[in-house]
């Protein structure tokens, strides 16, 4: 129970990777708050945490909305206590389209959730971590933040930016024993990847199977990552075993892009 009585907040915790991360932290003793836009999904995650014997709460919020973020953090403090672990997992895939056809609204929407959201959450969590003499911030990026990604420019830009934000924040708060790292998944099996493949296939006029092979063949291990793979790395970085790891960009990608 390496997170016994520690308070963790996982954004985008209603399903997918975020839900698995929340369950993993709770299984190690953390009291976990999950947030996202859909209350029903969040409630289901909280119920799963409670079913496995943990303490979980669900508070809906849009991470790109500053007022909602401030209310979210106030609610977590009231119900659970000061936050020690923050996992910025919330993110949207955004459009699949060339820049020549990109709308400003689509661009701004992805940046608001994927890049401004983590900044707002970090800013809101830091007072708790400073008061406790330490904390853990784990951002969830993507291997898309390390290479060109045609037809997905806003998504790629936010993940590139999140790596830079992680490194900069790690330097700013390191003297306060706060570690900040980013985990970059490769293609993760699940509903999100299925939608990404379908959207790309439609844009390119190719069969979905061909696009799936494009992603799969891009990995050295010739397999997709699982949400559990990502959650295990997050749990390690959130633990005392990783107290001297900060400012790092860690790929969990099955060797994607090697």
Point out the catalytic residue in the list 15, 136, 146, 159.
159
* Cα 88 from Cα 93, distance rounded (Å): 15
Q: Is 222 a catalytic residue?
A: no
First to last CA, the chain: 36
List, as one string, the DSSP characters of the chain.
Answer: -TTTT-EEEEETTTSHHHHHHHHHHHHTT-EEEEEES-HHHHHHHHHHHHHTT-EEEEEE--TT-HHHHHHHHHHHHHHT-S--EEEE--------S-GGG--HHHHHHHHIIIIIHHHHHHHHHHHHHHHHT-EEEEEE--GGGGS--TT-HHHHHHHHHHHHHHHHHHHHHGGGTEEEEEEEE-SBTTHHHHHHHHHHHHHHT--HHHHHHHHHHTBSSSS-B-HHHHHHHHHHHHSGGGTT--S-EEEESSSBT-
Q: Is 215 a catalytic residue?
A: no
Point out the catalytic residue in the list 15, 51, 155, 222.
155
Sort strands 249-252 and 85-88 into parallel, antiparallel or unpaired. Answer: unpaired
Cα–Cα separations (whole angstroms), residue 86 to 89, 195, 219: 9, 27, 29
* Cα 121 from Cα 216, distance rounded (Å): 33
Q: Hey, which residues are catalytic here?
A: 155, 159
């Amino acid at each position: 129970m390496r997170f016994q009585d520690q308070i963790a907040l996982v954004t985008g915790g209603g399903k997918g990777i975020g839900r698995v991360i929340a369950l993993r932290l709770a299984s190690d003793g953390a009291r976990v708050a999950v947030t996202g836009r859909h209350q029903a999904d969040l409630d289901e995650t909280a119920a799963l945490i409670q079913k496995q014997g943990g303490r979980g709460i669900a508070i809906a919020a849009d991470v790109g909305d500053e007022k909602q973020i401030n209310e979210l953090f106030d609610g977590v403090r009231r119900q659970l206590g000061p936050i020690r672990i923050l996992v910025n997992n919330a993110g949207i895939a955004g459009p699949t389209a060339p820049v020549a056809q990109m709308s400003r609204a689509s661009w701004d929407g992805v940046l608001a959730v994927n890049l401004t959201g983590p900044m707002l959450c970090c800013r809101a969590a830091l007072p708790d971590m400073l008061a406790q003499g330490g904390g853990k911030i784990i951002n969830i990026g993507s291997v898309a933040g390390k290479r060109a990604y045609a037809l997905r420019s806003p998504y790629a830009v936010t993940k590139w930016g999140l790596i830079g934000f992680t490194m900069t924040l790690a330097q700013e708060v390191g003297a306060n024993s706060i570690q900040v790292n980013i985990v970059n998944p490769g293609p993760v099996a699940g509903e999100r990847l299925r939608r990404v493949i379908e959207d790309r296939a439609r844009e390119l006029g190719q069969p979905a199977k061909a696009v799936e092979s494009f992603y799969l063949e891009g990995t050295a291990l010739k397999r997709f990552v699982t949400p559990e793979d990502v959650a295990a790395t997050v749990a390690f970085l959130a633990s005392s075993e990783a107290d001297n790891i900060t400012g790092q960009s860690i790929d969990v990608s099955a060797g994607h892009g090697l």
